């Protein structure tokens, strides 16, 4: 899995951080920060859920 975030689209809802805190974080303004673009398999389910619930569709996933 490869993860990308589109920071300009982020609306700082924080759902991604709540679901996958080992993969996502937020800056001081609440904008998503990607901690790893290639998360371990144990995080894939939570990352997929993060992408699905992101209100701004700012998370993109690709299989690699």
Q: Give the architecture (CATH level 2) of 2-62.
A: 2-Layer Sandwich (3.30)
Q: Which residues pair with 37 in a beta bridge?
A: none
Question: Which among 44, 19, 45 is positioned nearest to 32, based on CA atoms?
Answer: 19
- pLDDT, block means (10 residues), the chain with 64 residues: 98 98 98 98 98 98 86
Burial class, 59, CB count within 10 angstroms (exposed 0-12 / middle 13-18 / buried 19+) = buried
What distance lies between CA 4 and its chain's CA centroid? 8
Which pLDDT score, from 0 to 100, does residue 7 have?
Answer: 98
Question: Which among 61, 58, 15, 16 is positioned nearest to 37, based on CA atoms?
Answer: 61
Report the run of H or E that residue 51 belongs to, with start and end.
helix 44-53
């Amino acid at each position: 899995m490869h993860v990308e975030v589109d920071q300009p689209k982020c609306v700082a809802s924080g759902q991604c951080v709540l679901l996958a805190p080992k993969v996502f974080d937020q800056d001081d303004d609440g904008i998503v920060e990607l901690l790893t673009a290639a998360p371990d398999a144990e995080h894939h389910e939570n990352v997929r859920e993060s992408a699905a619930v992101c209100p701004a569709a700012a998370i993109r996933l690709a299989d690699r």
